[in-house]
Amino acid sequence: MEPFAVIIMKKDAETGFLDKEVGSYMIKEHGDYIDSIYVLEQDGKNIAHMRVSTDFDVQDWQYSAIYDYYDEDKVKALEDVLSIEAIEEEFNPLWEIRFVLPEIEEAAEEMMVRILASHKNELDEVLKEIKDKEEEYL
């Protein structure tokens, strides 16, 4: 797997426009699970809003099954994660994970890799659980 470059922009809370680059990061693993990422400033902190998905297009039956079996609490259990929320308006399953983005580049990269690894591990477990459940979802 090749490193994945991520540029994080700050979003203006009033206009919704991305208006300023916060930083550029090299994600060494699992960057292909990132759908989008931006930060909003709240109480003087940069709160990252990272949307994560699958690294493949799911079949129709898998969409519901993945949401049914995905345990958001396992990802939220990471000390850095403020919240995780399913976003059910996209083609593939999608979750928005919020966390305080560290100012130090290396710490931010490590945090993102940790969160992505947790998401990937949970998704891998879910895919194993649902592999024989197609009949139930059709």
Pair of tokens at residue 4:
């994945």
CA dihedral 132, 134, 137, 138 (to 10 degrees): -150
pLDDT 10s digits, 17-55: 999 999 999 999 999 999 999 999 999 999 999 999 999
In a domain, 35, yes or no: yes
Phi, psi of 124 (to 5 degrees): -60, -45
Asked if the model's pLDDT at residue 14 lies above 90, the reply is no
Number of domains in the chain: 1
In a domain, 25, yes or no: yes
In a domain, 138, yes or no: no
In a domain, 9, yes or no: yes
For residue 73, the enclosing domain spans 4-132
* Interatomic CA distance for residues 122 and 119, integer angstroms: 5
* Interatomic CA distance for residues 97 and 133, integer angstroms: 27
In a domain, 45, yes or no: yes
CB 25, CB 10: distance < 8 Å? no
In a domain, 8, yes or no: yes
In a domain, 137, yes or no: no
Taking the model in full, what pTM does it have? 0.93
Q: Which residue has the tokens 């990471």?
A: 78
pLDDT 10s digits, 40-99: 999 999 999 999 999 999 999 999 999 999 999 999 999 889 999 999 888 999 999 999
